[in-house]
Copies of this chain bind each other. A is one copy, B any other.
Amino acid sequence: MLETTNERAAMPAVSAAQGRTATSGGAQRRRAGRPSAAVLDKAGITAAALKLVSRKGYDGLTMAALAKVLDVAPSALYNHVASKQDVLLLVEDHLMSLVDVSGFGSDSWEDAVRAWAWSYRDVFAEHTPLIPVIAVLPVTDAPQTLAMYETVSKGFSDAGFPQDRIIPSIVALESFIFGSAYDVTAPEDIFDAGSMAESTPYFTAAVRSSASGQDAPAGQERGRPADTAFHLGLEALIAGFGAIRK
């Protein structure tokens, strides 16, 4: 959406005839020089990066690997993005469009925030390496991100929040969401005290009883431990912020 979004369409006939060396077969090299039809654009780079991440994780997202998926030399990427950070930014902005803001405008403020927060957390739990990027990067050239903030801001405003409390409330919720996204990826045994269990009786007891709590005693969250904590914190924040409204 940032530019003329080429939609990743190729003209196989022409480009195969002009852009490839003679020796047939799938993985041929393109000859040097500008090709007749552009091979790369931001939308294509973003899509390829997402595919790569879903297949190999963020460790597998290297400029070299990205270039290979796009069948291009690594240096070619730099005609379209300034750096790898730039690629991460493209991915991040795309992911923001997956966050559910549909509740704002239809549901109650509480329900809209609930749906938004859970989907926001779920999206970034799969993409935690982006969190340091998002948390610090200006929103300026991230249109989807901006669109999300606009919808949420309007939702808060319509719900009766005073102007000057809207951003701080959203920021606090986001902070909780980002932290909770990490929590989802934590290993099961993260709180295993190991050999030091004897010297940490209160902690060890608490860990034990939180892990083996009774299963779903009517309307209670019971799934991954991360879900219990997220539910607990989110409801506290919603209750607390709900009281701000006039």
Contacts and interface: CB of A to CB of B under 8 A. Distances in A.
Interface of A: 128-129, 131-132, 135-141, 143, 146-147, 149-150, 153-154, 156-157, 163-169, 171-180, 182-183, 185-187, 189-196, 199-203, 205-207, 209-210, 213, 225-226, 228-230, 232-233, 235-237, 239-241
B182 A178 contact: yes
Copy number in the complex reads 2
B149 A200 contact: yes
A206 to B, nearest CB: 4
A228 B154 contact: no
Contacts of A226: 171
Contacts of A194: 140-141
Nearest to A227: B168
B190 A180 contact: no
A183 B140 contact: no
A201 B146 CA distance: 11
Nearest to A147: B200
